[in-house]
Amino acid sequence: MNSFELDPRLEKDCLVLGRLDISMLLLMNNALVPWFILVPRTYKTEIIDLSEAEQASLLEEINILSAFIKSNFEVTKLNTASIGNIVGQLHVHVVGRHPSDYCWPGVVWGTKERKKYTDTQVSEIIVALKQQFGNKFI
């Protein structure tokens, strides 16, 4: 089996922030909403196909990331989803939402409105993630 590779569509649309125990941590390069994506480093395409230990690790990462979004961004709702209709690679979206965001109450998927993150914003997010995840974030 080849080594794990990130789907080219995720690579094109996202910034790779680092690695966690089981997942790569990505940031959708659209600063209009805090939109993070966890990509377990596996070739399995469904959460149900992960081992119980892998599922538990992924859930822990989702929970820590969710707490991070709630404490670092102005959000009133978290949207968490593993859809995969376009990108078949297993990945979990964790998106912070607020009634004043650009597409509320609609979905963030498929919208054309974009505002790229600055290098400074990305650096600040990485510093905050290191504080939130501790040594689990590489």
What is the distance between the alpha carbons of residues 59 and 53, in angstroms, rounded to a whole number? 10
Going across the sheet that includes 14-19, the strands are 14-19, 23-28, 35-40, 92-97, 77-81
Q: What is the mean pLDDT of the chain?
A: 92
Average pLDDT over residues 25-48: 95
Query: Which fold does the domain 8-136 belong to in CATH?
Result: HIT family, subunit A (3.30.428)
Q: How far is CA 81 from CA 32, 85, 94, 107, 130, in A?
A: 19, 12, 7, 11, 23
What is the distance between the alpha carbons of residues 32 and 61, in angstroms, rounded to a whole number? 23
So where are the chain's domains?
A: 8-136
| Residue 137 pLDDT grade (very low, low, confident, very high; cuts 50, 70, 90) | confident
- Alpha-helical runs (H) found in 38-133: 52-72, 119-133
**99 pLDDT above the threshold of 50:** yes
Average pLDDT over residues 109-134: 92
pLDDT score at 128 = 94
